[in-house]
Amino acid sequence: MKATLQNIMNWARSMKVSRLGKWIRAPFARVDAKSGSRVLVHEILSLQVFSAALAGVLAIASLYWGGQWVLQDNYSRWALQWTQELNELGAPLFLADDSEALLRLESFVKRYPEIDRVAYYGRDGTMLFTVGNDDGAKSVTNLPSGALKEAVNVVGDKNPFLMSTGILNPQRFEILAPVWKESIPDDGLFDFDPTLPQQPVKTELLGFVSINLDFVIFHDRLLANIKGGILILLVVLVAFALYGRHALRNALKAISNLQEPIKELAKGNLQVEFEPAEHREIAEIVEALETTASALNARDAELLQLANHDSLTGLFNRRRFLEELRKEALKIMHGGHESALFFVDLDQFKYINDACGHPAGDRLIRKVADELLRSVGQDDVVARFGGDEFAILVPHTDEAGARLAAETLLANMRRMAHIEDERVFHVHCSIGITMLTEENILHDELINQADIACREAKMAGRNRMHVFEQSVEAEQQTAADIGWMTRLRNALDNDEFELRFQPINRVDTGETTHHEVLIRLPGDDGNMILPDVFLPSAVRFGLMSEIDFWMIRNAAEAYERESASDSDLKLAINLSANAFENEDLTSYVAAIFDKHNVAPGNIVFEITESLAVRRPIHVERQIAELRELGCELALDDFGTGYSSFSYLQKLHFDYIKIDGAFVKDLPNNPVDQKMIRLIAEIGREAGMKTVAEYVQNAETLALLADLGVDLAQGFFVGRPAKKPRRKSTPILLKSRRTKKGAR
């Protein structure tokens, strides 16, 4: 048993901790047959049993080795106590003529079973006789010379004996002691003279006595008792392990019961039920799982609502509407009936939204959604496509029924009034209709057809409906629109646009003050496509904002490149209303300018009059941020409506760009002359410089000088070029003299 325990300890010391942990788990951890993973409950139980067994082994080893050490220590102490009996045991040597001494010795030895034998030796180490075990006496021989010498040397020492123990049997001790007598020749009791040297004590060696002690009898008895205690301990440990396993199994039963409900929960079954637990910790876990299931159930319902419905109006969103449209198309394939798709777009909604703010626009959208729901049938599907656009699916109807339903919608919308900030708004809409038939069921084409029909209704005057008619011209227009979208997308992705720079010169001196940055698209024939051709498609397909940011980035790169040779370079960049829909406009401009070392004071941003006059709150904020950045601002296309003069005093711009419609036929139109003179005077009073566009000849330029316009732009001043170049405009002598006289 001792050897086995020692082998176990040597093996454990040679193992690494990680390998030991793996060895502990591997034999006991039960593996789930389906998942291939260990079962927690069985692993805990196995670890508990293993821990109990390990603790038992360590306890038994400690008990055994501790008992051995205690016994060995006690044997040593016992043997030392026997050295105190050496005087009495040595009596046969100095009482050789006393026959009773030997008898007393034999009686003494018999009383102590641990005495194996007592052996006596002469002065020269020859064996005289032994008392004790006869078998042991036969094996006694004379003292070896080495032992004889050592025994002689301890005569007169403090510890006059030699003691040794057996290597193979530590329970056996041998004590060897010399026996001598000491005598004083003359004690000087009556004739003592301290001045005389004292005579040494006379020592006479009589022989040697050897005691062999054997504690095997006591050792066997104690060891038997230890083994009995170990057996009892083993029984207790086994009983404890079995009881602990049973108790742990019952305690962990609640955890095992959670396994199947959690699997169902992971599969998405949120109606799973959990068994109640008695223990507080497990009960809290069960409660947390039930709360989680309830929260997931509520979240799924909310996500389903958000996934299928518009958050503002509660109507179906675009994704869900397309699902309903596909379902209806499948029904038409099998049923052969017809249905109608309406595309509804509010007229002039952006003006109301910009004038009263986005919260007011949201309230109006909700009101429109409610009106649409009241105006359609129970089986009709209404959805918000985005912004102010709605879609309606009217199942099981022909074209006549679709027209009647659309007229009802238009009439109800005309009667609807929305009051905001004590102002009354009448919101009209344009409706595009397309029919779903067995030959026309592709949802992408249906949406496109209804959108085209809606645009036709808007072009025809708004507040009306239009039914899509499949024709060669319509197909060509659709193909053209799709072609422009693809072409513009590729131009943005592949950086295919090009910039042109048109100079803006002073009217009085002809000197170039700055250049307007214009965009061009290379055509397949090598000619440049003007922005009037492709920008409407960019607006329609939602690409205008990306084009604006492309302009800002590339204009900044051009400024960095050209300002090296022209430190006074100044550029004007057009921004559409779509650019201001991006909240990151100002931060983007600042980052680009910083990257390309653009001085913001040398950049003029041009915005249209329609955007500036309506002044949505976020646009006002972004314009203010651009001005704080150091940029100048120009009001483009001024004079085209919106009661410009009443709003002009509220605007803070550096330039007013007079729309080219007033300049194109200026010499022949006195009304345009008066209008431009008035704009120039108002701009001068407001501290703004005026810029006249579309200047085509010297006569117009001279007339602009007489009317008080500051700057001019047009083909006569300078055509757009690939690089910004300063080119003075020839000024008529009459104009120079007029300006000098004015000074």
> Over the stretch 138-172, which tens digit does the pLDDT of each residue have?
566 888 888 888 877 877 777 777 767 665 566 67
| 190 domain residue, yes or no | no
The domain containing residue 6 runs over which residues?
1-84+217-257
The answer on 538 and 419 residing in a single domain is no
CA dist 615 and 609 (Å) reads 10
The answer on 645 and 503 residing in a single domain is yes
Upper half-sphere CA count for residue 129 (Cβ side, 13 Å): 8
To which H or E segment does residue 413 belong? Answer: helix 399-415
| 479 domain residue, yes or no | no
| 174 domain residue, yes or no | yes
Mean pLDDT of the chain: 78
Q: Does residue 54 or residue 35 have the better pLDDT?
A: 54
The candidate with the shortest Cα–Cα distance to 384, out of 450, 436, 334, 310, is 310
CA distances from 334 to 158, 437, 439, 444, 643 (A): 124, 11, 12, 20, 58
pLDDT of residue 393: 95
CA distances from 227 to 55, 58, 172, 218, 359 (A): 17, 15, 22, 14, 91
CA dist 623 and 82 (Å) reads 114
Average pLDDT over every residue of 496-525: 93
Please list, in sequence order, all residues whose beta carbon lies within 8 angstroms of the beta carbon of residue 720, skipping any fewer than 6 positions away.
Answer: 500, 501, 502, 518, 520
Average pLDDT over every residue of 323-342: 90
The answer on 497 and 348 residing in a single domain is no
The answer on 425 and 353 residing in a single domain is yes
Residue 412 has pLDDT above 80, yes or no: yes
What's the whole-model pTM score? Answer: 0.46
pLDDT digits (tens, 9 = 90+) for 179-212: 887 776 655 555 556 665 666 777 777 788 887 7
pLDDT of residue 43: 67
**Is the four-CA dihedral 406, 411, 414, 415 of positive or negative sign?**
negative
Place of tokens 């079973």: 113
| 623 domain residue, yes or no | yes
CATH of the domain at 539: 3.20.20.450
Tokens standing for 374? 């009241």
| 162 domain residue, yes or no | yes
The answer on 591 and 623 residing in a single domain is yes
Number of CB atoms found within 10 A of residue 316's CB: 21
The answer on 688 and 597 residing in a single domain is yes
CATH of the domain at 130: 3.30.450.20
CA dist 563 and 602 (Å) reads 10
- Cα-only R_g, the chain: 58
The candidate with the shortest Cα–Cα distance to 537, out of 518, 521, 551, is 521
Place of tokens 């004083």: 184
The candidate with the shortest Cα–Cα distance to 693, out of 608, 611, 614, is 608
| 152 domain residue, yes or no | yes
Among residues 306, 337, 365, the one where a domain terminates is 306
Residue 737 has pLDDT above 50, yes or no: no
pLDDT digits (tens, 9 = 90+) for 131-141: 775 554 456 68
CA dist 653 and 638 (Å) reads 12
The number of angstroms, rounded, from the C-alpha of 66 to the middle of its chain's C-alpha atoms is 57
Q: Give the full edge-to-edge strand order of the sheet including 172-183.
A: 127-132, 115-121, 202-214, 172-183, 162-165
CA dist 310 and 319 (Å) reads 10
Q: What percent of the chain has pLDDT over 70?
A: 73
CA distances from 604 to 405, 510, 635, 721 (A): 51, 20, 10, 19
Could you tell me the pLDDT band of residue 414, with boundaries at 50, 70 and 90? confident
CATH of the domain at 357: 3.30.70.270
Among residues 439, 470, 501, the one where a domain terminates is 470
pLDDT of residue 601: 94
| 232 domain residue, yes or no | yes
Q: Phi and psi for 580 in degrees, rounded to 5?
A: -80, -5
The answer on 585 and 732 residing in a single domain is yes
DSSP code for 196: S
E strands along 414-524, which residues? 417-420, 423-426, 429-436, 465-467, 498-506, 512-522
The answer on 222 and 208 residing in a single domain is no
Number of domains composing the chain: 5
Cβ atoms 666, 700 nearer than 8 A = yes
The answer on 329 and 281 residing in a single domain is no
pLDDT of residue 1: 34
The answer on 673 and 549 residing in a single domain is yes
| 663 domain residue, yes or no | yes
Cα–Cα–Cα angle for 99, 105, 110, rounded to 5 degrees: 135
The answer on 599 and 625 residing in a single domain is yes
The candidate with the shortest Cα–Cα distance to 718, out of 510, 499, 526, 561, is 510
The answer on 634 and 614 residing in a single domain is yes
CA dist 548 and 137 (Å) reads 122
pLDDT of residue 339: 94
Q: Does residue 421 or residue 713 have the better pLDDT?
A: 713
The letter for the amino acid at 62 is S
Residue 406 has pLDDT above 90, yes or no: yes
pLDDT of residue 590: 94
CA dist 706 and 507 (Å) reads 10
